[in-house]
Amino acid sequence: MLDLLKRSPRAFALALLMHLLLIIFLLLGVDWLVQPEVYRPQVEVVQAKVVDEGRIAAEAARLRQEQEKRQAEEQAARQRAEQELRQLEQKKQREQQRLQQLEQQRLAEEKKRQAEEQRQRREAAEAAKKAKAKAEAERKAKAEAERKAKAEAERKAKAEAERKAKAAQEAERQRREAELQQALEAEQHNRAINAFAAAVSQSVTANWTRPPGSDQGLTCKLRIRLSEHGNILAVTLAQGSGNTPFDRSAEAAVWKSDPLPAPPAGLRDINFTFDPDAP
């Protein structure tokens, strides 16, 4: 019955009406069939039939009203169900639209995220490329600077070595020249001294008079102090001959030779060996 009500409410109502009419008919008809047939006036029979027909009509009207009411309720229920179904369908559509919007939003955000990640990867790759290029440029610049510094250091070292070599050569040349000059000056000085000594000996010998009783071969050493022009400043006996008259005659001969020739530069005190018998 419930399945019939769900499938066809109108058929269910008709079936229910038929059952009710059958029940009424049975209830009314049982007494009518069971009661013995007796004589009744025709008026009463007609009245009973009229009453029964009125009751049946009233019942039928009531049943129709109930059926119409049920039909109205069923119609309202169907309308409500349809309305609810439409609302559910609309809600479902709205939910689907919302889910679609969310999915579209998710896809858009995912696309945006992927684009952002791609941009970041691209920027990171570009930054890494620039950093690598910068590092390579710095490495090359550093290597070039080191090469230049090394070359400059080598150049300076070479120049310094050449300068030192030249300086050493120049120093050696100057040393040799100085030695040669010193040798020349020494030789000249020695010649000057020898010439001066010969001149002093010649002058003193020329002014010397041998004292009586002095033997030949006597010598003595005198220390003579001179001015730069040859003037005699002092004469002292450094080493005597053992013969006092001879030593005094030698001193006297020196004083007689005043002034002597100008001495060589720097020579003021001379040690003079007086040997009048020297060849």
Domain boundaries defined on the chain? 184-210+218-274
103 to 93, 94, 107, 110, 179: CA distances (angstroms): 15, 14, 6, 10, 109
Q: Is it the case that residue 151 has pLDDT exceeding 80?
A: yes
CA–CA distance, 270 with 266 (Å, rounded to integer): 11
Q: Which helix (H) or strand (E) holds 90?
A: helix 42-206
Q: Is CATH 3.30.1150.10 the classification given to domain 184-210+218-274?
A: yes
Decide: helix, strand or coil at residue 226: strand
Segment 220-258, tens digit of pLDDT: 999 999 999 999 999 999 999 999 999 999 999 999 999
CA 272, CA 201: separation in Å to the nearest integer?
A: 8
Task: Give the model confidence (pLDDT) of 28-87 as tens digits.
Answer: 654 544 455 555 555 555 565 666 888 888 888 999 999 999 889 989 888 898 898 889
Tokens of 171: 């120093």
Q: Which residue has the tokens 């040669």?
A: 180
Provide the phi-psi class of 209: left if phi over 0, else alpha when psi is between -120 and 50, else beta.
Answer: beta
